[in-house]
Amino acid sequence: MSKRILITGAAGFLGSHLCDRFLKEGFYVTAMDNLITGSLKNIEHLLQNENFEFIPHDVSKFVEVPHRKTGHNGDVHYILHFASPASPIDYLKIPIQTLKVGSLGTHNLLGLAKAKGARMLIASTSEVYGDPLVHPQTEEYWGNVNPVGPRGVYDEAKRFQEAMTMAYHRYHGVETRIARIFNTYGPRMRLNDGRVLPAFIGQALRGEDLTVFGDGKQTRSFCFVDDLVEGIYKLLFSDYAEPVNLGNPDEITILEFAEEIIKLTGTKQKIIFKPLPQDDPKQRQPDISLAKKVLRWEPKISRQEGLKITYDFFRKLPHEELFKSEHRFG
Protein backbone atom coordinates (compact mmCIF):
# COMPACT_ATOMS: atom_id res chain seq x y z
CA MET A 1 0.00 0.00 0.00
CA SER A 2 1.28 3.48 -0.85
CA LYS A 3 1.82 6.03 1.91
CA ARG A 4 -1.23 8.17 2.60
CA ILE A 5 -1.07 11.94 2.90
CA LEU A 6 -3.88 14.22 4.05
CA ILE A 7 -3.78 17.66 2.42
CA THR A 8 -6.12 20.30 3.86
CA GLY A 9 -7.04 23.32 1.78
CA ALA A 10 -6.54 20.93 -1.14
CA ALA A 11 -8.86 22.78 -3.54
CA GLY A 12 -6.94 26.02 -3.11
CA PHE A 13 -4.09 27.41 -5.17
CA LEU A 14 -1.19 25.84 -3.27
CA GLY A 15 -3.11 22.81 -2.02
CA SER A 16 -4.07 21.68 -5.51
CA HIS A 17 -0.47 21.86 -6.74
CA LEU A 18 0.60 19.82 -3.72
CA CYS A 19 -2.00 17.18 -4.60
CA ASP A 20 -0.47 16.97 -8.09
CA ARG A 21 3.06 16.60 -6.70
CA PHE A 22 2.30 13.90 -4.12
CA LEU A 23 0.26 11.85 -6.59
CA LYS A 24 3.20 12.05 -8.96
CA GLU A 25 5.46 10.80 -6.16
CA GLY A 26 3.26 7.73 -5.65
CA PHE A 27 1.27 8.74 -2.57
CA TYR A 28 -2.39 8.07 -1.88
CA VAL A 29 -3.80 11.59 -1.48
CA THR A 30 -6.77 12.39 0.74
CA ALA A 31 -7.81 15.94 -0.10
CA MET A 32 -9.91 17.97 2.35
CA ASP A 33 -11.49 21.39 1.82
CA ASN A 34 -14.69 23.19 2.83
CA LEU A 35 -14.53 25.22 -0.42
CA ILE A 36 -15.00 28.53 1.37
CA THR A 37 -12.19 29.99 -0.77
CA GLY A 38 -11.06 26.91 -2.73
CA SER A 39 -12.61 25.58 -5.92
CA LEU A 40 -13.29 22.08 -7.18
CA LYS A 41 -12.08 23.29 -10.58
CA ASN A 42 -8.54 23.16 -9.19
CA ILE A 43 -8.73 19.41 -8.54
CA GLU A 44 -11.34 18.20 -11.02
CA HIS A 45 -8.58 16.67 -13.16
CA LEU A 46 -7.74 14.38 -10.21
CA LEU A 47 -11.21 13.12 -9.28
CA GLN A 48 -10.96 9.98 -11.44
CA ASN A 49 -7.50 9.08 -10.14
CA GLU A 50 -7.71 5.87 -8.08
CA ASN A 51 -5.08 7.22 -5.69
CA PHE A 52 -7.04 10.38 -4.93
CA GLU A 53 -10.11 11.09 -2.81
CA PHE A 54 -11.84 14.33 -1.90
CA ILE A 55 -13.57 14.87 1.46
CA PRO A 56 -15.57 18.11 1.82
CA HIS A 57 -15.00 19.17 5.43
CA ASP A 58 -14.22 22.16 7.65
CA VAL A 59 -11.14 21.23 9.69
CA SER A 60 -12.23 23.67 12.43
CA LYS A 61 -14.60 20.82 13.34
CA PHE A 62 -13.42 17.38 14.48
CA VAL A 63 -11.40 15.65 11.75
CA GLU A 64 -11.55 11.95 11.02
CA VAL A 65 -10.18 10.19 7.98
CA PRO A 66 -12.06 7.04 6.92
CA HIS A 67 -10.23 3.96 5.66
CA ARG A 68 -10.24 4.04 1.88
CA LYS A 69 -11.81 0.58 1.55
CA THR A 70 -13.65 -0.32 4.77
CA GLY A 71 -14.87 3.17 5.66
CA HIS A 72 -13.52 2.78 9.18
CA ASN A 73 -10.81 5.01 10.57
CA GLY A 74 -7.70 4.53 8.44
CA ASP A 75 -3.96 5.12 8.52
CA VAL A 76 -2.47 8.54 7.76
CA HIS A 77 1.29 8.90 7.39
CA TYR A 78 1.63 12.60 6.58
CA ILE A 79 -0.50 15.73 6.96
CA LEU A 80 -0.07 19.02 5.09
CA HIS A 81 -2.19 21.73 6.75
CA PHE A 82 -2.86 24.34 4.06
CA ALA A 83 -6.46 25.19 4.95
CA SER A 84 -6.85 28.93 5.50
CA PRO A 85 -7.97 32.07 3.72
CA ALA A 86 -4.73 33.58 2.47
CA SER A 87 -5.49 37.00 1.01
CA PRO A 88 -6.71 40.24 2.58
CA ILE A 89 -9.99 40.18 0.63
CA ASP A 90 -10.77 36.76 2.12
CA TYR A 91 -9.68 37.19 5.70
CA LEU A 92 -11.23 40.65 6.02
CA LYS A 93 -14.56 39.15 4.88
CA ILE A 94 -14.34 36.02 7.06
CA PRO A 95 -12.16 36.98 10.04
CA ILE A 96 -13.68 34.51 12.52
CA GLN A 97 -13.26 31.54 10.17
CA THR A 98 -9.66 32.64 9.56
CA LEU A 99 -8.91 32.61 13.28
CA LYS A 100 -10.69 29.29 13.78
CA VAL A 101 -8.88 27.40 11.02
CA GLY A 102 -5.51 28.61 12.36
CA SER A 103 -6.36 27.65 15.95
CA LEU A 104 -9.08 24.99 16.18
CA GLY A 105 -8.19 23.53 12.79
CA THR A 106 -4.53 23.24 13.70
CA HIS A 107 -5.42 21.72 17.08
CA ASN A 108 -7.68 19.12 15.45
CA LEU A 109 -5.05 18.13 12.89
CA LEU A 110 -2.23 17.96 15.44
CA GLY A 111 -4.47 15.67 17.50
CA LEU A 112 -4.98 13.51 14.41
CA ALA A 113 -1.22 13.46 13.75
CA LYS A 114 -0.59 12.40 17.36
CA ALA A 115 -3.21 9.63 17.19
CA LYS A 116 -1.94 8.31 13.82
CA GLY A 117 1.77 8.75 14.43
CA ALA A 118 1.81 11.02 11.34
CA ARG A 119 4.28 13.74 10.44
CA MET A 120 2.58 17.12 9.97
CA LEU A 121 3.72 20.19 8.06
CA ILE A 122 1.91 23.50 8.56
CA ALA A 123 1.69 26.34 6.05
CA SER A 124 2.78 29.37 8.01
CA THR A 125 3.48 32.68 6.31
CA SER A 126 5.80 35.65 6.01
CA GLU A 127 2.94 37.59 7.65
CA VAL A 128 4.19 36.33 11.03
CA TYR A 129 6.86 39.02 10.57
CA GLY A 130 4.18 41.72 10.19
CA ASP A 131 5.54 45.03 8.90
CA PRO A 132 9.16 44.02 9.50
CA LEU A 133 11.80 46.18 11.14
CA VAL A 134 14.50 43.73 9.99
CA HIS A 135 15.38 43.28 6.31
CA PRO A 136 15.62 40.72 4.83
CA GLN A 137 13.62 38.57 7.26
CA THR A 138 15.37 35.66 8.94
CA GLU A 139 13.68 32.92 10.95
CA GLU A 140 15.16 34.38 14.15
CA TYR A 141 13.20 37.64 13.73
CA TRP A 142 10.12 37.70 15.99
CA GLY A 143 8.12 40.18 13.95
CA ASN A 144 6.31 43.51 14.21
CA VAL A 145 2.61 42.62 14.20
CA ASN A 146 -0.46 44.66 15.13
CA PRO A 147 -2.66 42.07 16.92
CA VAL A 148 -5.79 44.25 16.83
CA GLY A 149 -5.46 45.67 13.31
CA PRO A 150 -7.53 44.37 10.38
CA ARG A 151 -4.73 42.02 9.27
CA GLY A 152 -4.25 40.69 12.80
CA VAL A 153 -6.82 37.93 12.30
CA TYR A 154 -4.52 36.26 9.77
CA ASP A 155 -1.14 37.22 11.25
CA GLU A 156 -2.01 36.11 14.77
CA ALA A 157 -3.80 32.95 13.60
CA LYS A 158 -0.57 31.89 11.91
CA ARG A 159 1.60 32.89 14.88
CA PHE A 160 -0.65 30.87 17.19
CA GLN A 161 -0.55 27.99 14.71
CA GLU A 162 3.24 27.93 14.94
CA ALA A 163 3.13 28.02 18.75
CA MET A 164 0.60 25.18 18.91
CA THR A 165 2.64 23.12 16.47
CA MET A 166 5.85 23.52 18.48
CA ALA A 167 3.96 22.65 21.69
CA TYR A 168 2.78 19.36 20.19
CA HIS A 169 6.30 18.70 18.93
CA ARG A 170 7.95 19.40 22.28
CA TYR A 171 5.39 17.93 24.68
CA HIS A 172 3.80 15.11 22.68
CA GLY A 173 6.73 14.22 20.45
CA VAL A 174 4.71 14.76 17.25
CA GLU A 175 6.92 15.08 14.17
CA THR A 176 6.20 18.56 12.83
CA ARG A 177 7.54 20.92 10.17
CA ILE A 178 6.85 24.65 9.73
CA ALA A 179 7.05 26.37 6.33
CA ARG A 180 7.02 30.18 6.42
CA ILE A 181 5.77 30.88 2.93
CA PHE A 182 6.48 34.20 1.17
CA ASN A 183 4.55 35.61 -1.81
CA THR A 184 3.87 32.78 -4.25
CA TYR A 185 2.22 32.92 -7.67
CA GLY A 186 1.30 30.72 -10.60
CA PRO A 187 -1.61 29.02 -12.39
CA ARG A 188 -4.81 28.47 -10.36
CA MET A 189 -4.52 31.68 -8.38
CA ARG A 190 -7.91 33.32 -8.12
CA LEU A 191 -8.09 36.45 -10.23
CA ASN A 192 -10.17 38.15 -7.53
CA ASP A 193 -8.15 37.03 -4.52
CA GLY A 194 -6.95 40.59 -3.93
CA ARG A 195 -3.20 40.06 -4.13
CA VAL A 196 -1.02 42.25 -6.26
CA LEU A 197 -0.11 39.87 -9.07
CA PRO A 198 -3.61 38.70 -10.07
CA ALA A 199 -4.93 42.22 -9.42
CA PHE A 200 -2.45 43.75 -11.88
CA ILE A 201 -2.90 41.05 -14.53
CA GLY A 202 -6.70 41.24 -14.19
CA GLN A 203 -6.67 45.01 -14.59
CA ALA A 204 -4.41 44.75 -17.64
CA LEU A 205 -6.64 42.12 -19.26
CA ARG A 206 -9.74 44.26 -18.66
CA GLY A 207 -8.09 47.36 -20.09
CA GLU A 208 -8.11 49.18 -16.74
CA ASP A 209 -5.39 51.33 -15.23
CA LEU A 210 -3.17 49.50 -12.75
CA THR A 211 -3.80 50.44 -9.11
CA VAL A 212 -0.74 50.95 -6.92
CA PHE A 213 -1.33 51.55 -3.21
CA GLY A 214 0.88 54.11 -1.48
CA ASP A 215 3.87 55.41 -3.45
CA GLY A 216 4.70 51.98 -4.87
CA LYS A 217 8.07 51.84 -3.12
CA GLN A 218 6.99 48.97 -0.88
CA THR A 219 8.61 45.70 -1.95
CA ARG A 220 7.60 42.09 -2.50
CA SER A 221 9.50 38.95 -3.51
CA PHE A 222 7.62 36.53 -5.76
CA CYS A 223 8.23 32.76 -5.84
CA PHE A 224 6.81 30.58 -8.63
CA VAL A 225 4.56 27.80 -7.33
CA ASP A 226 6.65 24.91 -8.71
CA ASP A 227 9.69 26.14 -6.79
CA LEU A 228 7.65 26.48 -3.61
CA VAL A 229 6.19 22.97 -3.93
CA GLU A 230 9.71 21.57 -4.27
CA GLY A 231 10.72 23.41 -1.08
CA ILE A 232 7.70 22.06 0.81
CA TYR A 233 8.44 18.53 -0.39
CA LYS A 234 12.04 18.76 0.78
CA LEU A 235 11.04 20.29 4.13
CA LEU A 236 8.49 17.56 4.85
CA PHE A 237 11.14 14.87 4.45
CA SER A 238 13.88 16.77 6.25
CA ASP A 239 14.81 16.33 9.91
CA TYR A 240 14.31 20.01 10.74
CA ALA A 241 11.45 20.99 13.08
CA GLU A 242 11.98 24.76 13.47
CA PRO A 243 10.43 27.27 11.02
CA VAL A 244 12.00 27.59 7.56
CA ASN A 245 11.52 30.51 5.16
CA LEU A 246 10.43 29.42 1.68
CA GLY A 247 10.33 32.11 -0.98
CA ASN A 248 12.29 33.88 -3.66
CA PRO A 249 14.67 36.61 -2.41
CA ASP A 250 14.54 38.47 -5.75
CA GLU A 251 12.99 41.69 -4.37
CA ILE A 252 11.12 44.25 -6.49
CA THR A 253 9.10 47.39 -5.72
CA ILE A 254 5.39 47.34 -6.45
CA LEU A 255 5.82 50.21 -8.91
CA GLU A 256 8.54 48.33 -10.82
CA PHE A 257 6.31 45.26 -10.79
CA ALA A 258 3.39 47.21 -12.27
CA GLU A 259 5.68 48.34 -15.08
CA GLU A 260 6.76 44.72 -15.67
CA ILE A 261 3.11 43.65 -15.99
CA ILE A 262 2.36 46.42 -18.49
CA LYS A 263 5.35 45.32 -20.56
CA LEU A 264 4.38 41.63 -20.29
CA THR A 265 0.77 42.17 -21.33
CA GLY A 266 1.55 44.71 -24.04
CA THR A 267 -1.13 47.04 -22.73
CA LYS A 268 -1.07 50.84 -22.65
CA GLN A 269 -2.69 51.46 -19.26
CA LYS A 270 -1.53 54.12 -16.86
CA ILE A 271 -0.54 53.48 -13.25
CA ILE A 272 -2.80 55.20 -10.70
CA PHE A 273 -2.15 55.60 -6.98
CA LYS A 274 -4.45 55.03 -4.00
CA PRO A 275 -3.88 55.22 -0.21
CA LEU A 276 -1.96 52.35 1.38
CA PRO A 277 -4.16 49.91 3.36
CA GLN A 278 -3.63 49.82 7.14
CA ASP A 279 -0.65 47.74 8.31
CA ASP A 280 0.37 46.86 4.75
CA PRO A 281 4.00 45.60 4.98
CA LYS A 282 6.56 48.01 3.50
CA GLN A 283 9.16 45.33 2.77
CA ARG A 284 9.05 41.63 2.05
CA GLN A 285 12.18 39.65 1.27
CA PRO A 286 13.02 36.23 2.67
CA ASP A 287 16.46 35.31 3.89
CA ILE A 288 16.64 31.70 2.63
CA SER A 289 20.11 30.88 3.96
CA LEU A 290 18.59 28.25 6.25
CA ALA A 291 16.64 26.55 3.43
CA LYS A 292 19.80 26.47 1.31
CA LYS A 293 21.76 24.90 4.16
CA VAL A 294 19.22 22.45 5.60
CA LEU A 295 17.17 21.56 2.52
CA ARG A 296 19.67 22.33 -0.27
CA TRP A 297 16.81 24.28 -1.82
CA GLU A 298 16.55 27.58 -3.62
CA PRO A 299 14.21 28.86 -6.38
CA LYS A 300 15.16 27.99 -9.96
CA ILE A 301 12.42 29.68 -12.04
CA SER A 302 12.95 33.33 -12.97
CA ARG A 303 10.18 35.88 -12.50
CA GLN A 304 10.17 36.48 -16.26
CA GLU A 305 9.54 32.78 -16.97
CA GLY A 306 7.01 32.33 -14.17
CA LEU A 307 5.04 35.45 -15.09
CA LYS A 308 4.67 34.30 -18.70
CA ILE A 309 3.21 30.95 -17.55
CA THR A 310 0.88 32.71 -15.10
CA TYR A 311 -0.26 35.32 -17.64
CA ASP A 312 -1.07 32.57 -20.16
CA PHE A 313 -3.25 30.89 -17.51
CA PHE A 314 -5.19 34.09 -16.72
CA ARG A 315 -5.52 35.02 -20.39
CA LYS A 316 -7.49 31.81 -21.02
CA LEU A 317 -10.03 32.37 -18.24
CA PRO A 318 -13.70 32.73 -19.24
CA HIS A 319 -14.85 36.29 -19.92
CA GLU A 320 -17.31 36.31 -16.99
CA GLU A 321 -14.58 35.30 -14.52
CA LEU A 322 -12.34 38.08 -15.74
CA PHE A 323 -14.99 40.74 -15.06
CA LYS A 324 -16.09 39.68 -11.58
CA SER A 325 -12.71 40.56 -10.11
CA GLU A 326 -12.11 42.81 -7.10
CA HIS A 327 -9.19 45.20 -6.97
CA ARG A 328 -7.32 45.27 -3.73
CA PHE A 329 -4.15 43.60 -2.63
CA GLY A 330 -1.93 42.90 0.32
pLDDT, one tens digit per residue, over 233-274 is: 999 999 999 999 999 999 999 999 999 999 999 988 899 999
Calculate mean pLDDT across residues 164-182: 98
- Residue 92 predicted with pLDDT over 80: yes
Determine the Cα–Cα distance for residues 328 and 113; give it in Å rounded to an integer.
37
pLDDT at 289: 98
Choose the CATH number for 185-221+249-283+301-322 among 2.160.10.10, 3.90.25.10, 3.30.70.600, 1.10.10.10.
3.90.25.10
Give the bridge partners for 210, in sequence order: 271
pLDDT at 73: 63
- Residue 110 predicted with pLDDT over 90: yes
Percentage of residues of the chain with pLDDT beyond 70 = 95
327 pLDDT band, cuts 50/70/90, is very low
- Residue 282 predicted with pLDDT over 90: no
pTM for the model = 0.94
CATH code given to domain 4-184+224-246: 3.40.50.720
pLDDT at 262: 94
Determine the Cα–Cα distance for residues 141 and 125; give it in Å rounded to an integer.
13
Active site residues: 154
CB 185 within 8 A of CB 222: yes
Burial of 232 (0-12, 13-18, 19+ CB in 10 A): buried
Calculate mean pLDDT across residues 60-71: 80
Out of 4-18, 36-50, 150-164, 268-282, least confident range: 268-282
Burial of 155 (0-12, 13-18, 19+ CB in 10 A): buried
Is-cis flag, bond preceding 136, omega within 30?
yes
- Residue 329 predicted with pLDDT over 50: no
User: What residues does CATH 3.90.25.10 cover in the chain?
Assistant: 185-221+249-283+301-322
Q: Residue 204: phi, psi to the nearest 5?
A: -65, -45
Give the bridge partners for 272, in sequence order: 211
User: What residues does CATH 3.40.50.720 cover in the chain?
Assistant: 4-184+224-246
CA-based radius of gyration for the chain: 19
Tell how far CA 48 is from the center of its chain.
25
Helix, strand and coil percent figures for the chain, each rounded to 5: 40, 20, 40
321 pLDDT band, cuts 50/70/90, is confident
Nearest to 126 by CA among 106, 154, 148: 154
CB 168 within 8 A of CB 174: yes
pLDDT at 283: 85
Calculate mean pLDDT across residues 268-296: 90
CB 42 within 8 A of CB 18: no
Give the bridge partners for 29, in sequence order: 5, 52
- Residue 325 predicted with pLDDT over 60: no
- Residue 328 predicted with pLDDT over 60: no
pLDDT at 319: 73
**What's the sign of the alpha-carbon dihedral 291, 296, 297, 298?**
positive
